[in-house]
Amino acid sequence: MLNVPPQAFPAPGSQQRAAAGGRTKVPLKPGRSLMDWIRLTKSGKDLTGLKGRLTEVTEDELAKHNKKEDCWICIRGFVYNVTPYMEYHPGGEDELMKAAGTDGTDLFDQVHRWVNYESMLKECLVGRMAFKPVAAPKGMLSERKVLGASARDTTPSYDWFQTDDLITVVIYTKRKDMNAELVIVDCQDKRLRGEIILDDHSYLVEVDLDHEVQDDFAVNVAGKLGKVEITLKKKDHFQWKVLGLPLESHNTLMKRMERGLFYRTCKLVSKTEVTHDTKLFCFMLPEGTHLQVPTGQHVYLKQIIAGTEVVKPYTPLLPFLPLDFKELSHQDGAHIYLMIKIYSCGLFTQALDHLQIGDDISVSNPEGDFKTSQVQGVEDLFLLAAGTGFTPMVKLLNLALTKADCLRTVKLIFFNKKEDDILWRNQLEQLALRDERFEVQFILSEPAEGWVGKRGKISSSLLSECMKRSKKDSKVLTCICGPTPFTEQGIQYLKDLGYSHKEMHAFTA
Ligand code: FAD
Ligand code: NAD
């Protein structure tokens, strides 16, 4: 349990007050933080006004509750009285009012489908919709609902085979560009879940297996054939009559946005200091999981804080900055490394910091819209990072320095407040000495007197001064990550400097 002073949230500059995740957040009144909301939900107060009674809600009834002082919203068939939540909503009352008296599922999914509303709003539950809501429930969309007839030919399929010892599930993805990062398999307690990422869609095989299997399994990807094989080891030597009982979303192809995030339990194996306030956390995936987080993507961590599930995104990186970049040499597949800044008033990071070695935490499947193909053919790569916005740049550097054959220069322009905030400074300087394509420049917004390097915050003049192409008209990519105002301003300055949309990528949630 956290011991947080009631008025500390949201602190000035907190993400709960500031803009975040590519959408505008509004300043919350003091005493209206997530922690304050959690406290209110635990207070025993009747938040629905129905004294704990659940009711069946018709569309007409729902529509009547469309005012700030009386606001009901339907999400995935469940109706919540969000009136008491209004002042606590980080996106502001007006955002919430967009769904007042209606089915807000689509709006919710667009903005923050990773937020666990079931847990956050459980005390606001009024009941179920009497009629099916307009948006389909999570996990219930069939392949036919997602794809038009012409697309069905490209729908993946699966089959399974067995020997005395092995069960092999084969997924025919009908794609020619498969790789291990596009395959996520979890097999625990007889439940097999194999998800194949196909651009913005995903195909799922999900069954309750007929018999027990061992924890370890093999995943083989025949990239050019588009074939994925999951080979499970039987615990006994029975001949299975069926693979198992299909679960709700088995054999479906649907938009990734519409599929619920899947979490597995990982163990904290180490926690090491990076700077005065930032730590490198190493989490071990369970044995029955095959998961490789692609470059530029993040995962969500989920913890129960004061009885409520809280979810935050983090960007996996490598355990250290390799000086000799080699393809995949530093990804062991069994661990996830996260570099996380611990905020003194941070709800989630304080709880993370209190985790002990061996403690469990839930880690989701990866998400993110960065595509590794974006670095193909790039000659000059600029990385604009602020604070922990450095995290996606680590794997990106690895990718660029190993794979981008045309690459001439990579420049990391790293914005921090003070010198002792700079993450992996030594390693970055070492790399710059070692690889002549790589250059790093540190820019401080609150430097001490003796600082001889550049100072200030992101600006058009700083960028035009620091970003020089290796040759006129070289193919450029600029990636940017940091606090939302930093990223938004950076994108605007780049546009003003004549960079096109294709020449930039912003990391956001
Ligand atoms: P909150 O309770 O939300 O914030 C409260 C406190 O945090 C305040 O006291 C405030 O002082 C401080 N604070 C929070 N953000 C800022 C800020 N930008 N500037 C100044 N003060 C701030 N974080 C990492 O450390 N590593 C990552 O790899 C990482 N990856 C991310 C990936 C994505 C896609 C996104 C959107 C965010 C990522 N973050 C990462 C940020 C992370 O998700 C949390 O927002 C962060 O850990 C703060 O959570 P909290 O609950 O502890 O803080
Ligand atoms: P910080 O507060 O220590 O600031 C670092 C630097 O960012 C500052 O020195 C300054 O140059 C710049 N900066 C800060 N606020 C600014 C503003 N309002 N306008 C212009 N420049 C500003 O940074 P931090 O505490 O390490 O925060 C890192 C941020 O990066 C967090 O907001 C986190 O959510 C975000 N992040 C995003 C991702 C992603 O993929 N989207 C990944 C990692 C981190």
* Distance, CA of 157 to CA of 391 (rounded, Å): 36
Distance 495 CA to ligand 1 centre (A): 27
Distance 15 CA to ligand 1 centre (A): 6
**Is 298 touching ligand 2 by the criterion CB < 6 Å?**
yes
Give the tokens for residue 124.
Answer: 């606001």
Q: Which residues contact residue 113 at a Cβ distance below 8 angstroms, ignoring those fewer than 6 apart?
A: 257, 261
**Is 386 touching ligand 2 by the criterion CB < 6 Å?**
yes
* Distance, CA of 497 to CA of 334 (rounded, Å): 43
- The model scores a pTM over 0.85: no
Atom 18 of ligand 1 has which residue's CA nearest to it?
483
443, 418, 438: which is closest to 428 by C-alpha? Answer: 438
User: Domains in the chain, ordered, with CATH?
Assistant: 16-129 (3.10.120.10), 143-258 (2.60.40.790), 263-364 (2.40.30.10), 372-506 (3.40.50.80)
Mutation test residue for ligand 1: of 349, 352, 481, 507, the one with most atoms within 8 Å of CB: 349
Please check whether residue 219 is in contact with residue 229, taking contact to mean a CB–CB distance below 8 angstroms.
yes
Distance 390 CA to ligand 2 centre (A): 9
Atom 34 of ligand 2 has which residue's CA nearest to it?
483
Helices marked H in 375-483 — which ranges?
Answer: 391-403, 425-434, 460-466
Q: Which residues sit with their C-beta closer than 6 Å to ligand 1?
A: 11, 13-16, 21, 298, 312-315, 338-341, 343, 345-349, 388, 391, 483, 509
Work out which ligand 2 atom sits closest to the CA atom of 444: 9
* Distance, CA of 473 to CA of 467 (rounded, Å): 13
Q: Report cis status (omega within 30 of 0) of the bond before 156.
A: no
Work out which ligand 1 atom sits closest to the CA atom of 315: 28
* Distance, CA of 287 to CA of 186 (rounded, Å): 9
State the ligand closest to the CA atom of 483: 2
Q: Which residues contact residue 474 at a Cβ distance below 8 angstroms, ignoring those fewer than 6 apart?
A: 379, 380, 408
**Is 374 touching ligand 2 by the criterion CB < 6 Å?**
no
Please check whether residue 418 is in contact with residue 270, taking contact to mean a CB–CB distance below 8 angstroms.
no
Number of Cα atoms under 13 Å in the Cβ half of residue 192: 31
Work out which ligand 2 atom sits closest to the CA atom of 421: 3
**Is 483 touching ligand 2 by the criterion CB < 6 Å?**
yes
Atom 36 of ligand 1 has which residue's CA nearest to it?
509
Give the tokens for residue 478.
Answer: 């600029």
Sheet with 70-75, edge to edge strand ranges: 55-57, 125-129, 78-81, 70-75, 66-67
Digit-by-digit pLDDT tens for the chain (509 residues) are 333 333 333 333 333 333 333 455 667 788 888 889 888 988 888 898 888 788 888 889 999 999 999 999 998 888 999 999 999 888 888 888 999 999 988 888 777 767 778 888 888 999 888 865 444 444 433 333 444 444 556 789 999 999 999 999 999 999 888 999 999 999 998 999 999 999 889 999 999 999 999 989 999 998 888 999 999 999 988 899 999 999 989 999 999 888 888 999 999 999 999 999 999 999 999 999 999 999 999 999 999 998 889 999 999 999 998 877 555 555 567 999 999 999 999 999 999 999 999 999 999 999 999 999 899 999 999 999 999 999 999 999 999 998 878 899 999 999 999 999 999 999 999 999 999 999 999 999 999 999 999 999 999 999 999 999 999 899 999 999 999 999 999 999 999 999 999 999 999 87
Give the tokens for residue 411.
Answer: 């420049």
- Residue 185 has a CB neighbour count (10 Å cut-off) of 21
